[in-house]
Amino acid sequence: MSVMKELRDYFSEIMRLNYILALLGWDHQVNMMGYKNIEGRSEQMALITKLIHTRLVSEKTGKIIKQAEKFQDLNDIDRAMLREAKRAYDQETKLPEALVVEIQKTAALAQQTWQNARRNNDFKSFIPLLEKTLELQREKAAKLETHPDLYSTLIDLYEPGATYDWIANIFNPIKPKLINFVKTLDSAPNKPNNAIFDKKFDPDKQYELSYEILKKLNYDFESGRQDRSTHPFTTSLGSLDVRITTRTTEPFPACITGTIHECGHALYEMGIVKELHDTILCTGTSMGIHESQSRMWENIVGRSKEFWIYWYPTFQKYFPEHLKDYPLEDFHRAVNYVHPSFIRVEADEVTYGLHIILRFEIEKDLIDGNIGVNELPEIWNSRFEELLGIVPPNDALGVLQDTHWGSGYIGYFPTYFLGNLYCAQIYDRVLKKMPHLPEDYKKGEFSNLLNYLREEIHQYGSIYRANDLIKRVTDEDLNPDYFMEYLEKKYKPIYGL
């Protein structure tokens, strides 16, 4: 057996253990498990995490990697496989088993506690586990030492190679531009009216409609399924088992946009070339690139006029009491209504970046110890008002709205806005090569866009790092100017500017 085949097979078993862990998490989050078993489930997940850690840090793992490093003439796949195996090995060998297990157990308990805290608007009940989560994440970052500062080390877990300074140098200049653009749109004389979404839309019909859209977008139900959860997410339980969730509890059309968003993530995972299945490369290259795919389908496609030319008659059939005599033009403008709001996942694509910048800045201060957990609601509300001009009326609509801190995902948030920036740059290139795409959407045809993305991005899994991939696709580094150009070109006509 060749060394590279041995490395591939060895890490494939680790991937399968990760899929088992994901299955336990999926069962936990889609409310298929009784609340009384939360401690038992946390122990199960901790055990799988321990098995993964033990296998990664074993002497055999180090030996296989060292042998593979001796080979110089490797193809792109083998080189990337060795890179990712070494990255995983180097990270895990720096982390004590007790810390890895404690992080997993705490995350399972904190996630459930967060759900209850959000439901009951009770931030105080979440404080002890959030403080413990932050303490564990600081310890983890200190031991990993990927970058000189702790927060950059945590960011690197989700966006390999990215640092706090690199992201801050992108976010800081765009922040005032977004704030000013929101004010410009808000003062426009012909603003859209989104009052139609104040009406009650039957949750079950929303869910049924979301299934129709998934099928049309080429989501493969033989390789996945959709369920409901407190917070929408996508997870891979195997190379050919990619599941998504949505929610119907929020104002319409959040279920639809959430479904399209998660579909974008799933299409990425479903498009990875078969040669990479069950390998360490069988996943998106970074969360920023992953988010670029979901935001492209949700916003650039799913909020376009052409998309609604095709779908609006179907929506009217589902909700005739609300939409029968409601003009398409008004509905499309309402879907693209820009206004500061409290919930990140429901935010329009203009204000969305400000939601992320808020979390990015707060996480940095939390990890550095500049603010305490007990201060979070007050700091959150104050900074929210500075960025978006409104103050959350309660913690459920404020500091408690996201699952990420309960799950221990510190450093994840900035990848969301990076995704918007990657998305605009990639789509600019797509349109230059395929200017007919908007006409496709009018006919309910989305395969041409999907095929392009699969050819240029999806099939490669994590062979290429984000900075290399964006260069391959667009011939330049990440450039945030494309995003602002996209916003102005789209929203000025909608607002009559």
For 376, half-sphere exposure in the C-beta direction (CA atoms, 13 angstrom radius) is 27
Model confidence at 34: pLDDT above 70 = no
Picking from 195, 181, 438, 481, the residue whose alpha carbon sits closest to that of residue 337 is 195
Which listed residue (92, 159, 262, 361) is catalytic? 262
Model confidence at 1: pLDDT above 60 = no
Per residue in 314-365, pLDDT tens?
999 999 999 999 999 999 999 999 999 999 988 999 999 999 999 999 999 9
Model confidence at 159: pLDDT above 60 = yes
Exposure of 20 by Cβ count < 10 A (0-12 exposed, 13-18 middle, 19+ buried)?
A: middle
Decide the pairing of beta strands 234-238 and 241-246.
antiparallel
- Tokens encoding 182: 């929101």
- Per DSSP, the three-state class of 296 is helix
Instruction: Report the pLDDT value the prediction gives residue 330, as an integer from 0 to 100.
Output: 96
Position 248, amino acid: T
Instruction: Report the pLDDT value the prediction gives residue 33, as an integer from 0 to 100.
Output: 64
pLDDT band at residue 40 under the 50/70/90 scheme: confident
**What's the start-to-end Cα distance of the chain, in Å?**
66
Model confidence at 9: pLDDT above 70 = yes
Picking from 51, 81, 64, the residue whose alpha carbon sits closest to that of residue 1 is 64
Bridge partners (DSSP) listed for residue 244: 226, 234
234, containing H or E segment: strand 234-238
d(C-alpha 79, C-alpha 107), whole Å = 33
Instruction: Report the pLDDT value the prediction gives residue 428, as an integer from 0 to 100.
Output: 97
* Residue pair 441/310 in contact by the 8 Å Cβ criterion: yes
- Tokens encoding 332: 């499309």
- Across 147-167, average pLDDT: 97
Question: If you search the block for the tokens 């459930």, which residue do you land on?
Answer: 112
Instruction: Report the pLDDT value the prediction gives residue 414, as an integer from 0 to 100.
Output: 98
- Tokens encoding 385: 């008002």
Where do the domains of the chain lie? Answer: 3-145, 164-494
Model confidence at 440: pLDDT above 60 = yes
Per residue in 264-288, pLDDT tens?
999 999 999 999 999 999 999 999 9
Instruction: Report the pLDDT value the prediction gives residue 215, as an integer from 0 to 100.
Output: 97
Per residue in 179-192, pLDDT tens?
999 999 999 989 99
Picking from 231, 199, 256, the residue whose alpha carbon sits closest to that of residue 407 is 231
* Residue pair 109/39 in contact by the 8 Å Cβ criterion: yes
* Residue pair 399/123 in contact by the 8 Å Cβ criterion: yes
Per residue in 68-78, pLDDT tens?
999 888 999 99
- Across 144-156, average pLDDT: 97
* Distance from the Cα of residue 246 to its chain's centroid: 13
Percent of the chain with pLDDT over 90: 88
- Across 36-56, average pLDDT: 87
d(C-alpha 64, C-alpha 60), whole Å = 6
pLDDT band at residue 108 under the 50/70/90 scheme: confident
Model confidence at 38: pLDDT above 80 = no
Cβ neighbours of residue 253 under 8 Å, at least 6 residues apart? 197, 201, 206, 335
CB atoms within 10 A of CB 472: 12
* Residue pair 219/332 in contact by the 8 Å Cβ criterion: no
Sheet containing 226-228, strands listed edge to edge, beginning at the edge strand earlier in sequence:
226-228, 241-246, 234-238
- Tokens encoding 460: 């490669």
Per residue in 200-251, pLDDT tens?
999 999 999 999 999 999 999 999 999 998 778 999 999 999 999 998 887 8
- Across 430-448, average pLDDT: 97
Lowest-confidence pick of 38-52, 73-87, 88-102, 319-333: 38-52
| CATH 1.10.1370.30 is right for the domain spanning 164-494 | yes
pLDDT band at residue 305 under the 50/70/90 scheme: very high
Picking from 401, 30, 34, the residue whose alpha carbon sits closest to that of residue 229 is 30
Q: How long is the chain?
A: 497
d(C-alpha 214, C-alpha 226), whole Å = 9
Instruction: Note the pTM of the prediction, 2 decimals.
Output: 0.93
Exposure of 124 by Cβ count < 10 A (0-12 exposed, 13-18 middle, 19+ buried)?
A: exposed
Q: Is 84 a catalytic residue?
A: no
d(C-alpha 269, C-alpha 265), whole Å = 7
Kindly report the CA angle at 375 between 372 and 379, in degrees rounded to 5? 115
Dihedral sign (CA 441, 443, 444, 446): negative
Instruction: Report the pLDDT value the prediction gives residue 28, as an integer from 0 to 100.
Output: 80
Cβ neighbours of residue 411 under 8 Å, at least 6 residues apart? 151, 154, 155, 156, 157, 158, 363
244, containing H or E segment: strand 241-246
DSSP codes, 301-347: ITTSHHHHHHHHHHHHHH-HHHHTTS-HHHHHHHHT-----S-GGG-
Largest CA-CA distance found in the chain, in angstroms, rounded = 71
Model confidence at 56: pLDDT above 60 = yes
Cβ neighbours of residue 70 under 8 Å, at least 6 residues apart? none
